[in-house]
Amino acid sequence: MWPAAVGNPISPTKRHRLDQRHWAPYAFLAPAGLFAMIFFFVPVLFSLYLTFTDWNPLSSPRWIGLKNYKYIFTLDPYFYQTLTNTFVFAFGSVLLGTAISLLLSFAVTRIKGKALWRTLYWLPMVTNVVAISYMWTYLLDAVYGLVNQGLALLGIAGPDWLSSPSTAMLSVIIVSVWAGLGGNILIFSAGLEGIDESLYEAARVDGASVWQEFRHITIPLLRPTLLFVLVTGFIGGLSNFALIMVMTGGGPMQATNVVANYMYQVAFQNLRMGRASAMAYVLFVIIMIITLVQLRVFKRGGVESY
Amino acid sequence: MSQRLGRVRLLLVCLAVSLALGLAAAIPNTASAKVKIVVASHYGQGQKEYLLPYFEEYMKLHPDVEITYQEITFADYLQTVMTSRVAGKAPDIYHLYSLWGVQMVGNGALDRPPASIQKMVRQSFVPSSVEAVTMNGQIWGIPTEIDNYMLVYNKRLLKEAGFNGPPRTWDELLKIAKACTKRNAEGKIVQAGFALERGWDSAVVHPWMALLYAQGGSLFSKDFSRATFNGPQGVKALEQEVALFKEGATDPTVSVWDFPTGTIAMTIMAPWYKSTLQKAMKDRFTDVGVAPIPAGPAGNKSVQYTFYWAVDSKSKVKKEAWAFLQWLNEQHPGQSSPMGNFLTKLGAIPSGKNDIAAHKAELGDAFMEPFVNALKYSVPEPNVVQGQEIKTSLMNHILEAFYQKVTPKQALDAAAKEINAILAENY
Amino acid sequence: MSKTVYPRSTSEQRSMGPSSPREGSTRTLMPRSPQALRPATGPNVWQVGLDGGKYFIIALGALTMVIPFLDMFVGALKTPAELLARPPVWIPHHPQWNVFREIWYMVPMARWYMNSFIVSTSVTVLVVITSSLAGFALAKYSFRGKEWFFRFVLAAQMFPTFLFLIPNYLIIAHWPAVGGNDWLGRGGNGLLGTYVGLVLPFAVNWWGIFMMRQFMLGLPDELMDAARMDGCSEWRIYWQIVLPLVKPALATLAIFIFLSAWNEFIWTMTVTRAAPDLQTIPVGLQLMRDTFDPTRNAALRRAALAVSTLPVMALFLSLQRYYVRGLVMTGLKG
């Protein structure tokens, strides 16, 4: 595939070998580098250009300067709301997801048949997002859904979940947590298994309760993992929108509309590619700032490899 | 261990084969010399079965033509057309919703029909449908399905609540709706007096538009320079709908899709709903009654939209495409066109005059007749640039009023502000 | 396109990377011995209770994991009347097994499966190759621009998917000299409507490069130096020495990439709107949603969902003992 890098089978001179060591890394990086040119730098610059244009895909882009940004920040009826939603969604799902998966991994680490249990949490990981969305749309249906029917058996009137603006966001957060548990549990389990069992034994000899073990052994030793899962999960959550797109389309009443989904609507339903690109850039700048903060947090939190 | 290696090897072979398959499939096939026409429409399962046989028939008559049907979900239609046009991969024949036409025409996406087709449309189609396909004084396609809105109600539920006929005024409607609503021990609605659908933009906006027209209001000023729907008539129309929520006769969990289960007393719906109701309700279908939407100061009004066939301006087979459409829609006295047959099977109203005449029986049944009669006072949805965006904005704000986050006046004022900005770009 | 393209697995993918609990803060607080907190009845009862609690939590969690799938499966077997019945019918009286046959005729499920398989394996193969190559270069060579490139790999991961959606669409559509395009990319469809167009924007994964680099850092340099002394070319070092050593990491990468590609939705939907023959499982399910009339075909849609998920699930679960260990291992080493 990269003929330049394939060595001559007949033994060449040592001099030649040294040369090869010089250019081999470039050959190895070539595919990635070429890809970066075509599918990274060109798109990044092109979408930057688009943010200064008015463009519906049937015509050609028209330069309008900063009007898109001005519209987004001063006139757009939903931009700030979707921005808030984006943060609520990312923050909510990562906090809830981390807490639950930490608890479950802690519970699952030292019991019998953990492979089977872990397998169950993997189920959503191998299920496509559209199927997950519809499955949960059925479960959460206000009238026919299993959740509310179950609650009714207990004499509780379940909320309208997806069709009420006050519970819709909570609902999509729950689903997103549910879908991501397996991955988090895997990471935490790896971390937990790395903790020396003798620490727990020593603690038990000292009469520590399970909570104390968790609080004073598990948490401190898992801190780098924990921090990493929290921060990267948060940043990932800021740009995820497939689940929301399929489940609620951002509704009801924009209650679950996140910037990425809103941008998709603006681009492909309202046919305003320029304005949508500008939104994408605003969100990107926000994500970048957060990531820079993240890097500092990592350095302080003892995660060195980033 | 060796078994494991075997598995790995097998996996690798699988990978290689599928990669090769992928690459092979990437090479475009340039086989047959037939004229290929791609027809894209939103007719799906339960509908397209009635349309596709006519495609087959045409292909039998014209062995050199190959027609491919592409089904596109209605909600994705405009999006799909746009993206495929950017790619130069657009279908040859569109089945367009009238609201999308302006944009398509404005950007040169549609082909001007040949004179013979223009003549046919002008002469033998219902005037309001001709209006829908006319932009800048030019006819751009062949109108097909006409939909307007009527009050659809469940006779049995009304009778159980002690009402023998449909409401004539909105106050009466409110009273019946309240009487027909039943709640369970937890306070959830198990039988709703009225269903106001929120699932898609037309379902939200159209019933309100009908009420707006009945109040004597209008959406925009004549020259489309500004929104007029937030005047007292529009506000009154929205207040009428919101009253159903306030009085507890409906709530956001109630969906028109529950109508067939006999748990919805009334709703406002279009004729295409017939085939769904028929199939789902079977012998219970006789429970369904159709009546005019309660009249307002401006009398009985309804809102109407039209679909039409059009040909892409970049299509390589325009001539053949128009020939096919002509065959599919041609109006002969005393006869129905294939399209007319298809639409009436669907429960829709065709727009060809001869089609309507030829299907007196189907269009005259208890369900369809009121819809057909109401065509007289149904107002076509205006052809406005960025119509889809405008409609979405309206939907968002109407929903805010439904959920009672804002008053009807506030909702419509907010919508008007947004929509005026959109109109100012183009008018 | 960066790895963030894959909507759902983002956090999981990323977090596989650099966390290394062993190297982390080891400032362990040894528990004091709080005699006062020790229950009078002795630790055993406590322990049993807590173990019970653990099992309760796990069982509850497992139930939450399984029930949605069961609900979908059982729902597919119900008649329309049973689906809408109040009070609910929990178990269908006359299971409608035929829906599982019908669904293959109603929607091009076999086609979707084939497309998903072709696209996902192609992406996986490409990413494994490009990631291991670039990761190797970044881990084991010193050359000008290395730092710069590595930083770029890190930074590129921050760019959100949707920033690339529109431009990539145009790049694929205007790919020069294919699909009827001229050398300037005008005139035809480019790579749109081909598998290549679906796969190419995912051919390189920045997270994958990062992960492979981290993993390869740990390989002993002596091995490679020895091979060089023996006259091995750099390519052979990569192919015959390095790759076999990083097999677990490659397997992990492959699994994650395959799953993300299998579930990828936004890009494929955007490009295959006009090319139904290329739609993958999730895209097909979403775009054909109107095919399933809410009142009549609710059971069929559930059947479609079940058919689209259960076989994949069975495949992954049957293979899991081959990869879960690898996942845990690389998760540790990252």
Q: Which residues contact B62 (CB under 8 A, 6 or more apart)?
A: none
Mark yes or no for CB contact B19/C125 under 8 Å. yes
Residue A6's pLDDT is 43
Confidence at residue B78, expressed as pLDDT on a 0 to 100 scale: 84
pLDDT at C21: 36
Which DSSP helix (H) or strand (E) runs through B247?
Answer: none
Nearest to A269 by CA among C326, B77, B166, C121: B77
CA dihedral B67, B72, B78, B84 (to 10 degrees): -60
Q: Give the distance, in angstroms, between the CA of residue A217 and the centroid of all CA atoms in the same chain.
A: 28
Answer with the residue of higher pLDDT: A101 or A6: A101
Task: Please tell me which residue, B79 or B16, carries the higher pLDDT value.
Answer: B79
If one compares B213 and B6, the residue with the highest pLDDT of the two is B213
The C-alpha atoms of residue B385 and residue B170 are separated, in whole angstroms, by 33
pLDDT of A9 reads 46
Model pLDDT, residue B298: 92
- Note the ipTM here: 0.83
Q: Is A70 contained in some domain? A: no
Domain count, chain C: 1
What is the residue extent of each domain of chain B?
A: 35-148+305-380, 150-303+384-426
Give C195's contacts in chain B (Cβ within 8 Å): 22-23, 25-26
Of C106, C274, C296, the CB nearest to B80: C274
User: Tens of pLDDT along B339-362?
Assistant: 999 998 888 899 999 999 999 888
Mean pLDDT of chain C: 78
Residues 238-277 of C with CB under 8 A from A: 238, 259, 262-263, 265-266, 270
**For range B127-150, the mean pLDDT:** 91
Distance between CA atoms of residues B149 and B267, nearest Å: 10
Phi, psi of A303 (to 5 degrees): -95, 110
| B307 neighbors B350 (Cβ within 8 angstroms) | no
SS3 B48: helix
DSSP A104-133: HHHHHHTSTTHHHHHHHHHGGGGS-HHHHH
Question: What is the mean pLDDT of the segment spanning B188-212?
Answer: 90
Distance of alpha carbon B293 from alpha carbon B166, whole angstroms? 10
DSSP B147: E
Contact A183 C4 (CB under 8 A): no
Asked whether the bond before B113 is cis by omega within 30 degrees of 0, the reply is no
Most confidently modeled of B77-91, B219-233, C80-94? B219-233
CA-CA distance, C117 to B17, in Å (whole number)?
A: 11
Per-residue model confidence as pLDDT tens digits over C9-24: 333 333 333 333 333 3
CA C299, CA B314: separation in Å to the nearest integer? Answer: 41
pLDDT for residue A165 is more than 90? no
Report pLDDT digits (tens) over A53-80. Answer: 998 877 788 899 999 999 999 988 899 9
Which residues from chain A sit within 8 angstroms of residue B86, using beta carbons? 57-58
CB-closest option in B15, B46, B88 to C125: B15
**Which fold, B35-148+305-380?**
D-Maltodextrin-Binding Protein; domain 2 (3.40.190)
Interface contact A24-C141, CB threshold 8 A: yes
- Could you give the 3-state DSSP secondary structure of residue A191? helix
Whether the per-residue pLDDT at C36 is higher than 80: the answer is: no
Q: Is B345 on the interface with A (CB under 8 A)?
A: no
Question: Would A18 be classed as within a structural domain?
Answer: no
Interval C257-265 mean pLDDT: 89
Whether residue C230 is predicted with pLDDT greater than 50 in this model: the reply is yes
For A142, which of B253, B388, B405 is closest by C-beta distance? B253
What residue spans of chain C are helical by DSSP H? 10-15, 43-77, 80-83, 99-106, 109-140, 146-156, 162-173, 195-199, 206-217, 221-229, 234-236, 243-245, 247-263, 266-272, 281-287, 298-333
Q: Do domains B35-148+305-380 and B150-303+384-426 have the same CATH topology?
A: yes
Q: Per the structure block, which two tokens stand in for A20?
A: 């090869």
DSSP three-state, residue B239:
helix
Q: Could you tell me the CA-to-CA distances from B108 to A173, B94, C122, C197 in Å, in that order?
A: 44, 14, 39, 27
Here the CATH number for the domain that contains residue A168 is: 1.10.3720.10
* Token duo for residue B223: 């020259």
Single-letter residue type at C200: L
Pairwise CA distance, residues B190 & C316, whole Å:
42
pLDDT exceeds cutoff 70 at C38: no
Which has more pLDDT, C103 or A12? C103
B123-140 average pLDDT score: 90
Give the chain A residue nearest C167 (alpha carbons): A43
Decide if A209 and C316 are in contact by the 8 Å CB cutoff.
Answer: no
Domain, as residue range, for A161: 84-301
A258 within 8 A of A245, measured Cβ to Cβ: no
Mean pLDDT of A174-181: 93
Average confidence (pLDDT) over C167-192: 79
Q: Tens digit of pLDDT for each residue in B57-112?
A: 999 999 999 999 988 888 788 888 877 777 677 899 999 998 888 888 888 889 99
pTM over 0.90: no
Residues C92 and C74: beta-carbon distance below 8 Å = yes
Q: How far apart are CA B45 and CA B51, in angstroms?
A: 11
pLDDT in tens, B251-305: 888 888 888 888 899 999 998 888 878 877 888 899 999 999 999 999 999 999 9
Of A58, A160, A164, the CB nearest to B109: A58
CB contact under 8 A, B109 and A163: no
Average pLDDT, chain B: 87
| Spatial separation of the C-alpha atoms in residues C100 and C113, rounded to whole Å | 15
- CATH numeric code, B150-303+384-426: 3.40.190.10
Q: Can you give the residue range of the structural domain that contains C147?
A: 3-17+107-333
Determine contact, residues A176/A93, Cβ cutoff 8 Å: yes
* Contact residues, B window 188-247, toward A, CB-based 8 Å cutoff: 188, 190, 198
Residues in B whose CB is inside 8 Å of some CB of C read 4, 7, 14-15, 18-19, 21-23, 25-26, 28, 42, 44-46, 70-76, 79-80, 83-84, 86-91, 190, 255, 257-258, 260-261, 276, 279-280
Q: Which residue has the tokens 């409507």?
A: C193
Token pair, residue C66, equals: 């399984």
Q: Say how far apart CA A76 and CA A272 lie, in whole Å.
A: 13
**Do B415 and B227 touch, CB atoms closer than 8 A?**
yes
pLDDT reading at C207 higher than 60: yes
The answer to which of A91-95, B30-34, C75-79, C183-187 has the lowest mean pLDDT is B30-34
Is residue A97 in a domain?
yes
CATH number of the domain within which C312 lies: 1.10.3720.10
Tell whether the model's pLDDT for residue B158 goes beyond 80: yes
C-alpha B157/C-alpha B138 separation (Å) is 48
Residue A158 lies in a domain: yes
Inter-helix orientation angle C162-173/A259-268, to 10°: 30
The token duo for C183 is 């050398």
Residues of B in contact with A254 (CB under 8 A): 396
Instruction: Judge: B399–A251 Cβ closer than 8 Å, yes or no.
Output: yes
Taking the mean position of all CA atoms in its chain, how far away is CA B231? 27
pLDDT at B397 over 70: yes
pLDDT of residue C41 exceeding 50: no
Query: C324 or B158: whose pLDDT is higher?
Result: B158
Nearest to B143 by CA among B309, B282, B4: B309
Question: Is a pLDDT exceeding 80 seen at residue C26?
Answer: no
- Please count the structural domains in chain A: 1
CB contact under 8 A, A152 and B82: no
Give me C80's structure tokens.
Answer: 């329309």
The DSSP letter of residue B113 is P
Separation of alpha carbons C141 and C216, rounded Å: 11
Q: Which residues of B touch C194 (CB under 8 A)?
A: 25-26, 28
Cβ proximity of C265 and A243 under 8 Å: no
Q: How far off is chain C from B155, nearest CA to CA, in Å?
A: 20
Q: What is the pLDDT of residue C327?
A: 63
Kind of pairing, strands B35-41 and B65-71?
parallel
Of C316, C281, C293, C318, residue with least CA distance to C112? C281
The torsion angles phi and psi of B71, rounded to 5 degrees, stand at -90, 125
From A142's Cα to the closest Cα of chain B, the distance in A is 6
Instruction: Say if CB B126 and CB B351 are below 8 A apart.
Output: yes
In a domain, A306, yes or no: no
Residue type, C287: L
Judged by DSSP in three states, B145 sits in strand
Measured CA to CA, the distance from residue A284 to residue A282 in angstroms comes to 5
In the sheet that B189-195 helps form, which strands lie side by side, from edge to edge?
Answer: B182-183, B189-195, B264-269, B150-154, B288-291
CA atoms within 13 A on the CB side of A253: 18
CA distances to A176, B146, B352 from B124, in Å: 55, 15, 6
